[in-house]
C-alpha cells in the first residue's frame, strides 16, 4: 500500500503518523509468515477482521455513487468494513454502543470494573475459546456476591428497579 506520509506535532517535534490500516497493510504478511514459522496459530476470525480493516473503504469492494443535480459532480463513497476493530468503523461502533448503553443505565454514580485472568491460566482459554463464558459467569457471580453482601450490611442501598435488575427478578 503506497501512502502519503503524514506528520503530527508531538512534544514540539514532527513525527510520522500511521493508521492501523497502514500498519496492517504493510506488516500483516510478514507477521503471518513469522507466526507460521514459529508454530503460532492465528484464528480464522483474526484473519477475517484484519482483511476487513485492510480493505475498508477500498473502491474495489464497492461504493455508493452520488451526483449533484445542479453541477453533475459525481462523488464516490467507498463502503466501510463495519468491523469494531477498525479505527475508522470502530469509533462509530463504540460511539453507537456507548449511546445505546447510556440509555439503559440507571441514574446515579457508576463504577467501571475490569476483571483479568492470571497469565498462567490464559493458555487454557486460548486453546479452548468455549471456556471464555466461564470467565463472564465468574465475573457476574463475583459482582453479585459483593453487592449482595453490601446490601445485607446496609452499606449499599439500591432502588427497587436496580435490585430487580441485580437479582434478575421478572
80: helix, coil or strand? coil
Q: Each residue of 128-163: pLDDT tens digit?
A: 888 888 888 888 888 888 888 776 766 555 554 454
Confidence of residue 95 (pLDDT cuts 50, 70, 90): confident
Residues paired with 52 in a beta bridge: none
> Which residues neighbour 139 within 8 Å (Cβ) at sequence distance 6 or greater?
115
How many Å separate Cα 66 from the centre of its chain?
31
How many Å separate Cα 59 from the centre of its chain?
24
State how far the Cα of 21 lies from the Cα of 28, in Å rounded to an integer.
Answer: 10
Confidence of residue 14 (pLDDT cuts 50, 70, 90): confident
Report the share of the chain in percent with pLDDT over 90.
30
Q: Report the range of poorest mean pLDDT among 52-61, 118-127, 158-167.
A: 158-167
State how far the Cα of 50 lies from the Cα of 87, in Å rounded to an integer.
Answer: 11
User: Nearest-5° angle of CA 39, CA 41, CA 42?
Assistant: 140
pTM, two decimals, is 0.54
Return the pLDDT at 164.
44
Amino acid at each position: 500500500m503506497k501512502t502519503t506520509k503524514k506528520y503530527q506535532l508531538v512534544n514540539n517535534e514532527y513525527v510520522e503518523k500511521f493508521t492501523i490500516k497502514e500498519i496492517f497493510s504493510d506488516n500483516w504478511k510478514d507477521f503471518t509468515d513469522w507466526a507460521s514459522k514459529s508454530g503460532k496459530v492465528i484464528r480464522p476470525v483474526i484473519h477475517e477482521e484484519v482483511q476487513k480493516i485492510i480493505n475498508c473503504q477500498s473502491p474495489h469492494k464497492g461504493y455508493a455513487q452520488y451526483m449533484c443535480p445542479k453541477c453533475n459532480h459525481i462523488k464516490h463513497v467507498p463502503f466501510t468494513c463495519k468491523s469494531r476493530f477498525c479505527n475508522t468503523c470502530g469509533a462509530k461502533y463504540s460511539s453507537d454502543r456507548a449511546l445505546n448503553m447510556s440509555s439503559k443505565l440507571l441514574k446515579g454514580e457508576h463504577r467501571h470494573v475490569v476483571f483479568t485472568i492470571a497469565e498462567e491460566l490464559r493458555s487454557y482459554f486460548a486453546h479452548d475459546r468455549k471456556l471464555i463464558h466461564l470467565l463472564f459467569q465468574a465475573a457476574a457471580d463475583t459482582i453479585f456476591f459483593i453487592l449482595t453482601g453490601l446490601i445485607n450490611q446496609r452499606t449499599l442501598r439500591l432502588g427497587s428497579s436496580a435490585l430487580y435488575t441485580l437479582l434478575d427478578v421478572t
